[in-house]
Amino acid sequence: MSKGTYSFTTPIYYVNAAPHLGTAYTTVAADTVARYQRMNGYDVAFVTGMDEHGQKVAETAEKHGMSPQEWCDSMEPAFRDTWDLLNITYTDFVRTTEPRHAKTVQKFWTDLYDKGYLYKSAYEGWYCVHEETYYAESDLLKDEEGQFVCPDCKRPVQRMSSGEENWFFKLSDFQDKLLAFYDENPDFIRPVTRRNEIVSFVKGGLKDLSISRSTFDWGVPLPFDEGHVAYVWADALLAYLTGIGYGDDSRPGEFDQRWPMQYHFVGKDIIRFHCVIWPAMLMAAGLPITHTVFGHGFLLTKGEKMSKSKGNGVMPADLVKIFGVDAYRYYFMSDVQFGHDGGISIERMVQVYNADLANTWGNLCSRVPGMNSKYFDGVVPEVPESTKHLVTENPLAELAAGLYEKYDACMTDVDFSGAAAAVQELAHRANAYIDETEPFRMAKDPEKRDELAAVMYNLLEAIRIVALYMAPFMPNTSAEVYRRLGLGDITQVTDIQAATAWGQLPAGNPVEKGEALFMRLDESEINLDM
């Protein structure tokens, strides 16, 4: 029985460059949620995609001597392949150039036009193509020559001509409604620092938003005024609706089941679009609003925001080659606190890999099956009546009993490092339990045979449970550990809470020793600067 739907999105990424560590970060986070909530009994929708329209993409295409459409088509494999490499289980991949998405955009804005939320007016203002954002003159900075530059990326801004008429969305009408909404929905913007930033921005007053362009045709045409295409953000945000079947007759009922969503995961750079413009658009359309926009921090390398343009050239595939996909995912999720900026480095990645994976989780997975093949011929031991009490009462069972509650609270809150720490605690405790019980000593004493069976059983059972809770971070490793324990396909688990109850590992299951899961790494042997 499904607990219901659980739906969320990553941003729909610009296609002017291949996915890098920053875009992969948001996507891996969303995938961790997807995998966990499936194991937790929810019917998950996970929408990602490519943001293909707008001036920036058109300019990039031109630089490459391609039409915008050709350029976008050529970029699709770069995205899909990276997400496959990282084991991303999205449920829809929306390309904003798809006809189904044009239908969404046209339907949505025609509805707002019919409802009187749009008006046409001459436009004068400043635009940054790189950020695809309009700025008030008072927000601009000046470069050394006194030219106006973008306050975000510091590139020159363009003056949009006064002769051109554009369609405007009456965003200013929503100032009070938005403030009331933030008030009534304290979880709408997280973490709280971003919430404060948005509240004070909206209190400062909202201007109407130009949502169309006519000097330029790389976009979705607006049906009520030919020759106008939707502004790239007035197009891209709606991909969240397309991705769950809005207005799509081939997916009957799906949109109503999945909207509103639980989360939009975005970087802090785009929270104004998601926390001001987007909810106002939804209010105007009479649609409910997503429960939470979570604006995570930036990945920093050498103290600076990591980005393709400033790039150090390290791509996800480079790190996967060294660490493997599971350790890649684990590092970013466990070591960078979601919501905060986080420094990343090879040095730190190696430290986390060696400490948490090679020395703790990997070590447990090689020691225990190794001992078990010596003492019980590689089969999960049957625990005799005389020591059954040691299976019900032991420190590992006790810790495992509280694990679901702790981990689930973290995951629901998207505190990935907290969730990772909760499962690591059990792996640590199991290693310590080996040191305390000393099975290698017991094995020498025939009188301790029954006790040894209980101890080995407890250790194997702890491994099973750690594998379950590591699976959202490290799907391949957990699947392999499950296999080694003679268990079925871990991706079929849909009630992780029930699966946590102690004592479910069947006696008699074959336990395979297998190769070491993680070989210790030496930083000095890694030739990659990050």
Interface residue list for ligand MSP (CB under 6 A): 11-14, 22-23, 25-26, 51, 236-237, 239, 266-267, 269-270, 298-299, 305-307
Tell me the two tokens of residue 46.
Answer: 């996970």
Longest dimension (CA), the chain: 95
Shortest approach of ligand MSP to residue 223 CB, angstroms? 21
Q: How far is the CB of 82 from ligand MSP (least distance, A)?
A: 13
Q: CB-wise, 117 or 298, nearer to ligand MSP?
A: 298
User: DSSP letter string over 452-492?
Assistant: HHHHHHHHHHHHHHHHHHHTTT-HHHHHHHHHHTT---GGG
Distance CA 274, CA 205 (A): 17
Nearest CB to ligand MSP, comparing residues 341 and 450: 341
DSSP 8-state assignment for residue 280? H
Whole-angstrom distance, CA of residue 107 vs CA of residue 307: 35
Nearest approach, Cβ of residue 339 and ligand MSP (Å):
11
* Residue with smaller CB distance to ligand MSP, 364 or 414: 414
Shortest approach of ligand MSP to residue 25 CB, angstroms? 5
Indicate the residue among 51 and 480 with the shorter CB distance to ligand MSP: 51
- Strand, coil or helix: what is 160? strand
Question: Whose Cβ is closer to ligand MSP: residue 6's or residue 240's?
Answer: 240
User: Residue 246 or residue 376: which is nearer to ligand MSP going by CB?
Assistant: 246
Neighbours of 271 (CB within 10 A): 22
CB of 484 to ligand MSP, least distance (A): 35
Q: Least distance in Å: CB of 264 to ligand MSP?
A: 8
CB atoms within 10 A of CB 108: 24
The alpha carbon of residue 5 and the mean position of all alpha carbons in its chain are separated, in whole angstroms, by 17
Minimum CB separation of residue 464 from ligand MSP in Å reads 34
Straight-line distance from the first to the last Cα atom of the chain, in angstroms, rounded to the nearest whole number: 46
Measured from the CB atom, the residue of 107 and 305 that comes closer to ligand MSP is 305
Q: Which is nearer to ligand MSP, 275 or 455 (CB)?
A: 275
| Minimum CB–partner distance for residue 480 and ligand MSP (Å) | 29
In whole angstroms, give the CA distance from residue 30 to residue 266.
10
Buried b / exposed e across 97-107, counting CB within 10 Å, b at 16+?
bbebbbebbbe
Q: Which is closer to ligand MSP, CB of 267 or CB of 279?
A: 267
CA distances 421 to 15, 227, 461, Å, are 35, 55, 19
**Which residue number places its CB atom closest to ligand MSP?**
22
Rg (CA), the chain: 27
DSSP per position, 109-155: HHHHHHTT-EEEEE--EEEETTTTEEE-GGG-EE-TTS-EE-TTT-P
Return phi, psi of residue 354, to 5°. -70, -45
Nearest distance in Å: CB 523, ligand MSP: 23
How far is Cα 275 from Cα 416, in angstroms, rounded to an integer? 23
Of residues 75 and 325, the one with the C-beta less far from ligand MSP: 75
Phi and psi for 148 in degrees, rounded to 5?
A: -65, 135
In this complex, which beta carbon is closest to ligand MSP, that of residue 46 or of residue 298?
298
Q: Which residue bears the tokens 């991705």?
A: 243
- Indicate the residue among 300 and 526 with the shorter CB distance to ligand MSP: 300
Q: How far is the CB of 19 from ligand MSP (least distance, A)?
A: 8
Q: Name the minimum Å distance from CB 67 to ligand MSP.
A: 20
Distance, CA of 274 to CA of 267 (rounded, Å): 10
CB atoms near residue 64 (< 10 Å): 11
The pairing of strands 304-305 and 299-301 is antiparallel
Measured from the CB of residue 131, what is the shortest distance to ligand MSP in angstroms? 8
> Phi/psi zone of residue 133: left (φ > 0), alpha (ψ -120 to 50 degrees), beta?
beta
